[in-house]
Amino acid sequence: MRIVLLGVLSILTVIAVSVSHGSAPVNPSVAEIGPGQPVAGLQLTLDQAAKGALRVTFENVGNTPTFLNLGIMVGNGRILIPNQLELVVTDPTGNPRKLQVKGVPGVAGRVDDFLVPLMPGAKYTIPFSLDDFVSETGKATVAPGEKLQAHYQGVAPSNPNGANIPALPVWIGEIQSSMVRYAD
């Protein structure tokens, strides 16, 4: 009886460890894959739709559903802030600078994770203008001919209010789009 009980406990321990580690796999880094290439089933693209208008698209090129934690949402989802996404602008001399998505000045209430489900083959596109970004020095500016690249850092959900959310297959890792030359 004691041997059977120990065997059952060992099996349950292995299952518990497998489930807890399987819910949020860490994906390879961009350095291992390269900019613009799919990473662990996710493809990130950036394109310029019109003067000053940009589109960032996430595509699930894998075979399993995944969730993206794009940032935060406030006001019960009325304000979505994809702050896990940033733009890197490279000037003609090769000097990069980062542009962050603008946030909100203050939050007096609950902050939730901005989770987006992606079925295999699905795409999620976010339209931006340069006014949606801010640099370390203030306003985000991009000159014609500079190169833009989108960077996404996938992280596990952090909202303590999400305790009722089951373990989701959230994409965790870093991915970059190919570079796009900014046109005026």
Task: Let me know if residue 48 belongs to a domain.
Answer: yes
Question: What is the percent of the chain where pLDDT is above 90?
Answer: 45
Inside any domain, residue 1:
no
Q: Is residue 128 part of a domain?
A: yes
Q: Which residues contact 156 (CB under 8 A, 6 or more apart)?
A: 24, 69, 170, 172
Among residues 84, 73, 101, 48, which one has the least CA distance to residue 159? 73
Token pair 């989802």: residue: 77
Predicted confidence (pLDDT) per residue in 68-122, tens digit: 999 998 888 888 999 999 999 999 999 999 999 988 777 777 888 999 999 999 9
For residue 111, what pLDDT is reported? 85
Residue 10 resides in a domain: no
Whether residue 108 is contained in a domain is answered as yes
Residue 90, in any domain of the structure:
yes
List the CATH number of the domain containing 81. 2.60.40
129 or 159: which leads in pLDDT: 129
Q: Is residue 150 in a domain? A: yes
The whole domain housing 90 covers 27-181
Number of domains within the chain: 1
Q: What is the pLDDT of residue 21?
A: 35
- pLDDT classification of 49: cutoffs 50, 70, 90: confident
Interval 131-155: pLDDT, tens: 899 888 877 788 888 999 999 999 9
The pLDDT assigned to 127 comes to: 94
Which two tokens mark 24?
A: 């949020």
